[in-house]
Amino acid sequence: MIRKLFHGYRSVGVMLVIGLIMGLVYFCGYDMRIIFDVTEEAKLPEDYSFERCDFFDGSWVYDNVSRPLYKEKECSFMTDDYSCEKFGRKEFKYQFWRWQPHGCNLPRFNGTSLLEKLRDKRVVFVGDSLGKNHWVSLLCLIDSWIIEPSNKVVEWHGSLITFKATEYNVSIDFYWEPLLVESNCDNPIKHRVLDRVMKIDSIAKHAKNWIDADMLVFDSYAWWLEPNMTLLWGSFENPTRTFVESGIVRRYEMAMKTWSNWLEDHLDRAKTRIFFTSLSPEHKKGQDWGKPVGTNCFNETEPITKKGYWGNDTSTGLMRTVESVVQDLRKKNFKIEILNITQLSQYRKDGHPTIFKRHWVPPTALELANPVKTADCSHWCLPGVPDVWNEIFYSYIRYRL
């Protein structure tokens, strides 16, 4: 009888404690992850090594318990380009897939740990709208870990958007630079030009905006896929030489050479860590995964399960160019990594906005009648695939730096 009473009182006590905590969560707005941080990540020692783990070799696992890592409506930094729920998507299964590497587990994202690791540092994402997709995902992951709104500041300066976590003196910025070198696509708002022209040997105008960064995250692929682009030497107003280059890989090699030469001459290789994000795949041809010709990612709700699936339009030539340049920079003592997100993203035909995003150019009546024609199969809904890119990025920063 005494034992039963003891267990009864203990149960009541536990319930009262849980009730008190839940009350604090409800009335004070605390994040449950901060209070109940009992994940495997919390138990990992600071010197934990992932050297034997290939983060990029794995499979997608449906997980409606630990995913999503945030809610679209609750992210202070969400933009209309990636807000699929806001613009009418009714199927949310895309939010609940977790990337599971073979042979190890990704550490669960912990915003406090990340911000402590980045204390007094500046991180800059440099690239196009997919790079911005990556950056917005990271801000959404961090958002709920900074409780006081006044400690989160965003500033716009033309092509540069700066996020500051003032409590940690951390800056995480995005800089619009879609072709790495100077071009007529450099305006962060008005860049939809039909004839792309680039100053193939000029990068300094851009680079002065990120030269002092402690960490740089580059991406530049999608804007190179036009059949013809004009290369220019000299100024836009008075060029000394121009010619039209139809070879995608050739002009990309020239730009990457300009980029790497500038890094060698100006970047503090003892200070700055560099990441280059690999190509983010598109899903514009349904026949690649067994659907009829003329279909694409529109109305897709499941990942591709075929091991090693690779879309026919994914340019291995551009990726090989990056790998070659990165290997050369490593030989010159640069701290540089490739975030090889291509294969894991290849499987996710279900993760794109399709028609569920803000249309900067309103669709015509004909396009509305045939939504496949206007479906965005390039960018990613958030929460979604880029969150995994950032879980891997977090793993590098937390345990490999």
Catalytic residues: 129, 376, 379
List, in order, residues 6 or more apart from 206 with CB less than 8 Å away: 126, 159, 175, 177, 180, 181, 182, 186
The answer to whether 377 and 296 have CB atoms below 8 angstroms apart is yes
**Residue that the structure tokens 């030469």 belong to:** 261
**Structure token pair of residue 82:** 């990636």
Alpha-carbon distance 62 to 398, whole Å?
Answer: 25
